[in-house]
Amino acid sequence: MLFDLADFESYFGPLRLFKYLSFRCACAAAMAFFVAMASAPCAIRVLRAIKFGQSFRTKEEVGRLAELHESKKGTPTMGGVIIFAAVALSSVLFARMNALVFTALLVYSALTALGFADDYLKIVKKNPKGVSGKMKLAVQAAVTLSACAILSFSPEYSSIMRELWIPFMKYPLVSCMPLWFMFAFMFLVLAGSSNAINLTDGIDGLAIGCTVSAALAYAVFTYIAGNSIAAEYLFLRYIPGSGEMTVVCCALLGASMAFLWYNAHPAEVFMGDTGSLALGGLIGITAFMSLQPFTLVIVGGIFVIEAMSVILQVASYKTTGKRIFLMSPIHHHFEIKGWKETKVVIRFWILSLIFALAGLATLKIR
């Protein structure tokens, strides 16, 4: 929106800065940070006043973990609305709207609504299961179908989005995916990323801290994909307008850092499913539209490890009757082993940053 101010540079010279992507990225990050920082105290007070506190499992259900998290009872949740407001506002103001930005914001908005409904059912309606797993998958499938339709019918992006790229290769593995395969693959990326971050969100600051690393990595990916010279040099597919997704990534980076201020141990607010499901979807659709979906396995290494720990735990228990971990997701395993919560979080942050840098390193290894 503010991009158009550059047309009035003849009246006020500095307005020409809105032409530059780097300036708008910096503005989006700064604005998202300050919007989230400024709105969080008020949101926390409101959530606490209406008693939207996080629900926890009992000692009979999770044993010692309930004792470790006893002090967290009553902490307000649904803090994902803080992140959403900051990212959406900053993106609309500083990104030049195109099919990529519109699709990303559509996915993010829809999954924020899904997460909000899930939290609402758990907290207000006292339904411990919230939105059923089948319903979540149905909504994610509908969101995927909408995103797939927008990109498929876009004259500028229809052929580009049907290319399938994998790390370490100079050329696409598949130059034109069938539409049914494109939908199935996009659903796998969106649902997988969304649910993986949801599983990671279990202790103070863990999920949002790892989101910072992922947002930073995809800010780089989208910037390079939108720069014809850099894309050609690194043997990447040039995606016109992809740079506008860098603005969205920078907005996410700023909002995440601000939310971490309040979510760091001891947390004053939790993001809830309102935040975790939506953030996963936003990162997933960004990975898909930047033609870096497989790189997300590397960049989001912590999210993959968390999800795999749950899958392995369930599979092991159902087939052998034994558990691999003391508890899953794996961050709870280390808590029960005796690691302090802050130690688990900081060590996972370190690994997340390493994974993000490893993902970026694939740009040069082709």
User: 166: phi > 0 → left, psi -120 to 50 → alpha, else beta; which?
Assistant: beta
Residue written as token pair 């803080």? 82
pLDDT for the residue numbered 48: 86
How crowded is residue 223: how many other Cβ atoms within 10 Å of its Cβ?
22
For 50-172, where are the alpha helices, taking DSSP H only?
59-62, 64-68, 80-94, 99-123, 133-152
Give residue-wise pLDDT tens across range 11-32.
777 878 888 899 999 999 999 9
Per-residue pLDDT of the chain (366 residues; tens, 9 = 90+): 776 777 677 777 787 888 889 999 999 999 999 999 999 999 999 988 887 766 665 555 555 666 666 677 778 889 999 999 999 999 999 999 999 999 999 999 999 999 999 988 888 777 777 888 899 999 999 999 999 999 999 999 999 999 999 998 888 999 999 999 999 999 999 999 999 999 998 899 999 999 999 999 999 999 999 999 999 999 999 999 999 999 999 999 999 999 999 999 999 999 989 999 999 999 999 999 999 999 999 999 999 999 999 999 999 999 998 899 988 899 989 988 989 999 999 999 999 999 999 999 999 887
pLDDT for the residue numbered 291: 96
Q: Tell me the sheet residues that pair with 53.
A: 76
Cα distances from 285 to residues 183, 244, 314, 330, 357, in angstroms, run 12, 14, 28, 26, 20
pLDDT for the residue numbered 153: 92
| Sign of the C-alpha dihedral computed for residues 106, 111, 117 and 120 taken in this order | negative
pLDDT for the residue numbered 56: 60
Tell me how far apart the alpha carbons of residues 272 and 289 are, in angstroms, rounded to a whole number. Answer: 26
Tell me how far apart the alpha carbons of residues 331 and 353 are, in angstroms, rounded to a whole number. Answer: 17
Give residue-wise pLDDT tens across range 122-158.
887 777 778 888 999 999 999 999 999 999 999 999 9
pLDDT for the residue numbered 65: 66
Which residues neighbour 242 within 8 Å (Cβ) at sequence distance 6 or greater? 100, 222, 223, 225, 226, 289, 290
Please give the DSSP secondary-structure letter assigned to residue 321.
S
